Amino acid sequence: MSYESPWRSSMVMAPSRRHPQGYSPSFRGRGRVGGSFSSRVPIENLPPDRDFMEGLVDTPLQTISIPAKDPNQEEVKIADPTYVGSYNWTRHDKPTIMVPGSPPLWRNRQMPYTITPDTGIRYVDRNGYRMHANVLLPLVLAVNKRHEMTKAPMFDWSSVDFVTDRNNLRGLLRWVNGTSRDFRIDLQLAGGKTILMNRWSARYREMFNGRTYGFSFERESTDPVPGCRGTQSHHRIITYDLNGLKMVVRFEVDACIRPPAKYPRKSVSSIDELAESMSSVSLSQEPDSASGGLLTVLEGGSEVSAASIIEMTTRSQNTLDTRGYDWKEAYPQLYFSQTPHHYLAIHRRGTFTEIQKRKLSEMVQFEKDAQEDLKKLRKMLEVIKAIVLEHGKKGRISLVCVEGVLKVYQRSGDDSCLPSTAMKFFESS
C-alpha cells in the first residue's frame, strides 16, 4: 500500500548524524484488523531511530559512482516471473509464519463510502521487526516449505544471483535516477555466487496521527481469507530473469481479486475470537530445524494466482489536483514485483469516491520511460556482485547511501544474514 504522507510537508526531522538531510519516512505497511498497528501502544514506547552507521567500521572501503549511460546496452526486461512461495505472519509471541498464507480479498464496495483516518502504530518493516538481522530467513523457509507441501523438487538456491526485498531494488533505482532517499543494504555471499541483500530499516514501526487514510481504506475494503484471520500481512516471493541475473524477490501484497465462489464469506464476531482462533493453531509446533530455532513455520492459507494480485494506493483529490500522481516513483513498485493490478483510491477527507484501476500489462510507456534508469540499475547489480564476490564468504559489507552518495562499508562483526543451517541451501550439490 502506498499512502499520502503527512510527515513530508510538516514533520521532517532536523539534520542529524543518522539523517544528514533530515528523515522523511516512506510510508509502506499494512493496517489490518488485529494486525499491523494499534493505538493502544503509546508513542513513547517506540525506540529512537537506529544509526545508519550501526555496526559499521567508520572508514568506507570505497565510494560508488552512478553507472554511465551506455547507448549499446540492451533493454532491460523481466523474463519468466514465477511464484515460488508466500507466507503470512501470525500473532504468536515467537516469530511464526503461515505458509502459503493468503492476501486479503478485495471487496469491491460500492462508492462512495467514508472511513475513519489512520491512527496508532504501524509497521514499516515487519520482517525486520520480527527477525532483526535474519530478515531473509522467512523468505527462504517459505519457499522450501511450499516445495515440501507440493512435493515439487527442492528449489535450487545455488543457481540464484540475488535474494532481495523489492524495497532494496527501489532504493537502488532511486539512487541511479537522482531521487535517492537515504538507505542501507547489508550484503553477504551465500554459496558460490548468491548475493544476499538484507533490507536495513532505521525504524521498524511508526506512529500515525490521523492525517491519512491508507490503513483504514485497506481494512474497510478487503476481507481476510477464512483460515488466515488474525494473521498479519502477506508476503509473496517470486523468481525471474533480469537480463541474465536470476533474481528472487520478496514483496508485500495488499489484496487479491476474489476468485469466483472459492472462499465463502464467514463472519467473526470479535477481536477476542480472532485471537482465540489463532492461539489454537499449532502453538505446540517446534521451530523449523533449518531456522536454527529462530522461526516456526505452520501450514495454512491458500495460494492465489499471480494474475489476481493488487497494489493499492490512496490519495486525496486535492493532492491529485495540485501535484498529480508520481508514476516515476510508483511504477517500479509494480515492475519489480510484476504486480498486475494497481488500484488508486481517491478521497475527500476520508470519503472515497473513485477507484482508478490500471494494469501493468498496459503500462508500456512507463517501462519505456524507465529504461535508462533500469539499465543503470542492471549495471549496478553487476558492480555489487563483483564487490561481494571479491570479499568472499567471510566478507560482511554494507551499502550506505546518504545525501545521494553511495559508499561501501565493512561491518565490524561477523554475524551472518542467515543461520548456518539455512546457508547450506546455497551450496552446490
Round to whole Å and give the CA distance between 5 and 217: 15
Judge contact between 213 and 118, C-beta under 8 A. Answer: yes
Element containing residue 382 per DSSP (H, E): helix 371-391
CA distances from 179 to 73, 210, 271, 348, 404 (A): 23, 28, 42, 29, 8
Residue for grid cell 527501489: 170
Residues 6+ apart with CB under 8 A from 396: 186, 188, 410, 411, 413, 414, 415
DSSP for 219-273? HHHEEPPTT-TT-EEEEEEEEEEETTEEEEEEEEE-EEPPPTTTS-------HHH
* pLDDT, tens digit only, all 429 positions of the chain: 754 443 333 333 333 344 433 333 333 333 333 334 333 444 457 889 999 999 999 999 999 999 999 999 999 999 999 999 999 999 999 999 999 999 999 999 999 999 999 888 888 899 999 999 899 999 999 999 999 999 988 999 999 999 999 999 999 999 999 998 999 999 999 999 999 999 999 998 988 888 889 889 999 999 999 889 889 999 999 999 999 999 999 999 999 998 776 444 443 333 333 334 333 344 335 577 777 789 999 999 999 999 999 999 999 999 999 999 999 999 999 999 999 999 999 999 999 999 999 999 999 999 999 999 999 999 999 999 999 999 999 999 999 999 999 999 999 999 999 999 999 999 986
- In DSSP terms, 238 is beta-bridged to 83, 249
Judge contact between 213 and 115, C-beta under 8 A. Answer: yes
In this structure, the dihedral spanned by the alpha carbons of residues 298, 415, 195 and 393, taken in order and rounded to 10 degrees, is: -130
In this structure, the dihedral spanned by the alpha carbons of residues 43, 47, 51 and 52, taken in order and rounded to 10 degrees, is: -70
Round to whole Å and give the CA distance between 399 and 67: 16
Rg for the chain, CA atoms, rounded: 21
3-state SS of 100-161? EECCCEECCCCCCEECCCCEEEEECCHHHHHHHHHCCHHHHHHHHHHHHHHCCCCCCHHHCC
CA distances from 326 to 2, 29, 128, 342 (A): 11, 19, 28, 13
Answer left, alpha or beta for residue 108, where phi above 0 means left and psi between -120 and 50 means alpha.
Answer: left
